[in-house]
Amino acid sequence: MERRVEACIMAAGGHFSAVTVMLLFFFLVTIFFFVIIFLFGYYCFSFVSFAITQTVL
């Protein structure tokens, strides 16, 4: 079954490249999204910890 799918993909050629580009784009967007969330969370955490230390001290 998988061999047949691979053969179809190889025969498709251009369609396969389009799908690959779509998957790559989706992958990059997901990574970009996670990086932004991580940086935003880190910034908020550092800001909150800074505010707490300022109020305590």
pLDDT (tens digit, 9 = 90+) per residue, 6-27? 776 666 665 667 788 889 999 9
The structural domains of the chain, with segments of one domain joined by +, span 1-56
pLDDT at 26: 95
Q: Quote the crossing angle between the two packed helices 2-12 and 14-56, to the nearest 10°.
A: 100
Put simply, whether the predicted model's pTM sits higher than 0.85 gets the answer no
pLDDT at 18: 78
- The mean pLDDT of 31-41, rounded to a whole number, is 95
- The mean pLDDT of 21-34, rounded to a whole number, is 94
